[in-house]
Each structure stands twice: as structure tokens, then as C-alpha cells.
Structure 1
Amino acid sequence: MADETRTGTRIQSVSRAAQLLMLIASLPEAERSVNRMAAELGTSVPTVYHLLNTLVDAKLLTRDERKQYRFGLAMEVLSVAYAQQTVPPPELVAPLRRIIEDTGESAYLTAWRNGNPVVLAHLSGTHAVQVTNLRPGYRGVANARASGKVLLAFAEPDDRERYLAMHPLTAVTDRTITDPDVFAKELAQVARNGYATEVEEFSAGVACIAVPVWRNGMLMGCYTVSAPVERYRKQRTGYLTVLRDAVAMLDEDKDEDEET
């Protein structure tokens, strides 16, 4: 039987409006011309104008004196509500199951919530020896966590500086980075590599590796694999491949939705 949630009635105009909002979010402000948006959406210029005017009336968008479209007050309300939501979207949790199936290790989903890197989901691995240091709702000591390093490395500069100004680099183990200059170099390396690691910086005998999760150019969070140090050292490359494959699953699901 077909999944009714995927085959039920859809309203095309609502779908196009949602696609338009996502497109605007992914485009630099200077490139948000109506012609560009019509071309990207594969629809006519008049249709885009109709959609834009409707979204402006709903306060989801606003049009400034230069005729540039920006997000409106209603979008701020939605953004705040999303940032306070502690239950992650199912589509972000599904790849965690693939991670533990392929690695046997514990896996986490972490994201920014109210200015803090917060663990949103955790699935235990299948290996006899597991590490389960973190639970949903955990926040703090981002400098000692691979997930914290990823979220800080790819955060907007103002958000990163604000977090670091309010949260001193605290030592959790004797391996935790607490020197600001050293930590800045660590974040720069994370940004270059596209992933972060930590070996016994948060918990003795435990190592983690994390990758960012992007959707439409926006940082949605990060996936992390946590393992005993010795197993991590032997399989680190494999863990990284699995994590990146998990992120790629989200793009595959997006393509399937667009074809539906």
C-alpha cells in the first residue's frame, strides 16, 4: 500500500510558495531578482510576482525601498519557534539509523538551539563496548566536543564570537583545548577539512568524529560517531565516509520529493 503521507493531496501553489521561500533563503540578497527566481523555479515571472505579493501580505516577506525581497516579521516568529524546538525533524534522525547500522557505534544529532550546541537525538550502537556519554538535551563545553567544534567552525562569525564570549574554554580532561589561539586554529582546520575530531578531550577512552549537515546552504546541525579510542583509530576513515554518506541521504530524499 502506498504511503498516504507521500501520495495524499497536495496544493501546488502552497508547494511553490514553500519552494520560493527556500530559494530566497539560499540566494544572496543581490541575486534575488524575479527573473532569477522564475528561472530557478521553472515557472513564469507573473506567477512569481503573485507568490511574492501573497507572501508579503502574510508578513513572511517584505519588500524594501530598493525593491529587494527580504524575510518579514512572521518569518522571525517561525525562526524563533524552530530554534526552541527540541524534537528534531524525522528526516534528520533517519540517517542516524544508517550510521549505527554501518558502524555499530553510537551516533548523535546536534544543532544550535537558543545559542547553544544541543544534542537533539542519540541512538546507541550495536557493539558490545559502547560509549553513551551524551543524551538529548545536553549542552555545554562545545570546545571539548567534535560536534561543538563543527557547529562553531561553520557558524556565522557573530554567533561564534557571541558563544565564545559567554562560554570560557573549559577543561574537561587534560586533553581539552583551552587556549583561545590554539582553539581558533582548530576551528580553522575544521572549516578547511569539513569535519571535526576529538580524542579523549571530552571523556577518557572515547573519541568522536563529526560532520556538518547542510540543507539549501543552511547549517542544520551535525552528525557524530562516538567510539572507544582504539576502535576509532582503526576505523576513523570508515566512520568519516559513513557520516558523509548519511548527509548525502538528505540530498537524495530532497531529490525524490521534488520528483514526486
Structure 2
Amino acid sequence: MSGTAPTGPRTGTRIQSVTRAANLLMLIASLPEHERSAPRLAAELGTSVPTVYHLLNTLVDAKLLTRDERKQYRFGFAMEVLSVAYAQQTVPPPELLTPLKRITEVTGESAYLSAWRSGNPVVLARLEGTHAVQVTNLRPGYRGAANARASGKVLLAFAEPGDRDRYLAVHGLERMTDRTIIDADVFAEELARVAKQGYATDVEEFSDGVACIAVPIWSGGILMGSYTISAPVERYRRRRADYLERLREAVEMLAEPEHGEAAGN
């Protein structure tokens, strides 16, 4: 065999039919259950109904999908196995780490990636910034006091109501500092505000002298996690607007189309 050895993750043949199946699964995940018919899926994908049926039938045979009596498609048993395995995975996807690195590069501050794992908002990754004064009070694997953390507020505010209620029923509202919100009604108002404005903050609610700002990470309408910037309070107050802009830019990086060709079927 001759030729140049692969040099990166985008090297090599892509199978077009696998790409189409993956796109189809992501589309189904983004649509309401009553809008997952084959004609609707074909229209959204810009392909023919027969082609979509071929993909759907294959995915049903693999138990990744099921078809109900209304001819709507839902996720099958095999998808449950995959989702549970993903929820238990503590190593973050590489695609989420590149924007995280960008955050630290452009702000000089420590940045975090957090996500739901096994019913808890968990810190998956932390990158230190370059400023002389840094705050490093969270480590990967930390899962406590979601009510006091900007990332925790984001994940709770945008979570499915059942997931949020189960977490709060078990963990309650933990007091970390004198500024931590521990009143249930006040915290409900805080989450409503986070959901409306699209980001969360905590100013000395988790740790004295430390402030954080966090935004949700979305992919195909699915909440994938949260990016957070952590900084000393005084620096945070001066640069809060800039931090929010950089966080949103990081999320937008994930929406940029990947370049590469699919081949074969």
C-alpha cells in the first residue's frame, strides 16, 4: 500500500450513507415527536422520501429508531443504551474543547466546560488563563452546589423540568457564601431570568472574591453543556460584557460547518 499516512482526524474516506444517517438522527432529535414523519424528514434534509425510508428502515432494524402507529419515528432501545453510556462518560468530546481553549486565549481567564452527567451538573474540563491572578477553585469532576455556580444555573435553567426537579429534590439549595441564593422562590425567579436572558452569573455566590459568567451550549436544539469564565470580582466587573461576548463566540464556533467530503454509500 502506498500513499501518505493520515495526518489528522479529517483525513480518509467518508461514507456518505453514514453521514446521512447521522444527520437524520440529529434532525429527529431536534423535532417534536409529532413532526417526525418520513415526508417531513425528507423535506428537512432536502432529499427524496424513498431515500429517507431506506435510512429509516435500516435504523429501525438496528433498534436505533422505532415507528409508532401514527407513522412517526422515535428513538429505540439501542439509542437508550448509547445515551446512558454517553451520560456516564466523563471525558469531554474534543469538539467542545477547542472553543474552550479559545476562550482562555482571548480573555486570559480560567474557563470551564460543564454538562449534565448521571443527573448532576458536572465540571468536565478546566483550562487556566494567563493572567497573573487566577481563580482555580473548581476541578474536573466537581458536581456540587449547582445553585451557587453560574454553570449550574445555566444547566438547571435549560434542563428538562423533570431533570431539574429531581436534582433540586435530592441536593436542595446549598449555601456556599453569604451571597448564595437559598430561598426556593428567589431561586426559581433566578432560573427564569437565566432562561430569558440566555446566560447566568454568580458574583461571590460560590466563592468569596470570585465571579463567573456562563452560557449554554446548544447543538441541534439539544443542551450539550455550558461554557464558563471565572475571574476575580474586580476584573469581572470591568470586563463582564467582553466575557459574555467571548463565550457566545465560542458557542458559535461549534455551529461552523465542518469541511470535508463524504464518499461512497
TM > 0.5 fold call: yes
Q: 1:27 & 1:239 partners in 2: Cα distance?
A: 32
Q: 1:235 & 1:67 partners in 2: Cα distance?
A: 52
Alignment correspondent of 1:256: 258
35-44 or 68-77, which deviates more: 35-44
Q: 2:249 & 2:255 partners in 1: Cα distance?
A: 10
1:76-87 alignment to 2 at 5 Å? Answer: 76-87=80-91
Match of 1:167 among 157, 167, 171: 171
Flag as ranges the 4+ runs of structure 1 deviating above 2 A: 1-5, 256-260
Q: 2:211 & 2:147 partners in 1: Cα distance?
A: 14
1:55-94 alignment to 2 at 5 Å? Answer: 55-94=59-98
**Structure 1 vs Structure 2: percent identity of aligned residues?**
78
Alignment correspondent of 2:18: 14
Q: Which structure would you say has the larger RCO, counting Cα contacts within 8 Å and 6 or more residues apart?
A: 2
1:256 is displaced (CA, Å) by: 2.5
Native 8 Å contact 2:14 2:261 kept in 1? no
Which structure has greater helix proportion? 1
Q: 1:195 & 1:35 partners in 2: Cα distance?
A: 36
Alignment correspondent of 1:106: 110
Alignment correspondent of 2:35: 31
* Residues 258 and 70 of structure 1, relative CA distance in 2, 3 Å threshold: farther
Deviations 1:59-108 (A, max 9, x none): 00011122211000000000000000000000001111110111100000
SS of residue in 2 equivalent to 1:6: coil
Deviations 1:161-200 (A, max 9, x none): 1111111111110110000000000000000110000000
Matched, 1:230 2:212: no
Report the residue type matching 2:125 in the other structure.
A
Q: Which runs of 5+ in 1 are unaligned?
A: none
* Residues 196 and 258 of structure 1, relative CA distance in 2, 3 Å threshold: farther
Matched, 1:135 2:139: yes
1:6 is displaced (CA, Å) by: 1.1
Report the residue type matching 1:235 in the other structure.
R
Matched, 1:245 2:243: no
SS of residue in 2 equivalent to 1:130: coil
* Residues 217 and 160 of structure 1, relative CA distance in 2, 3 Å threshold: same
Native 8 Å contact 2:151 2:200 kept in 1? yes
SS of residue in 2 equivalent to 1:209: strand
Native 8 Å contact 2:10 2:260 kept in 1? no
Native 8 Å contact 2:37 2:71 kept in 1? no
Alignment correspondent of 2:193: 189
Deviations 1:102-143 (A, max 9, x none): 110000000000000000000001000000000100001001
Q: 1:152 & 1:259 partners in 2: Cα distance?
A: 38
Q: TM-score, normalized by length of structure 2? A: 0.94
1:30 is displaced (CA, Å) by: 1.6
* Residues 258 and 195 of structure 1, relative CA distance in 2, 3 Å threshold: farther
Report the residue type matching 1:89 in the other structure.
P
Aligned residues: 258
Matched, 1:151 2:155: yes
1:4 is displaced (CA, Å) by: 4.5
Q: 1:238 & 1:3 partners in 2: Cα distance?
A: 36
Alignment correspondent of 1:125: 129
Alignment correspondent of 1:203: 207
Alignment correspondent of 1:47: 51
SS of residue in 1 equivalent to 2:10: helix
Deviations 1:193-219 (A, max 9, x none): 100000000101000000000000000
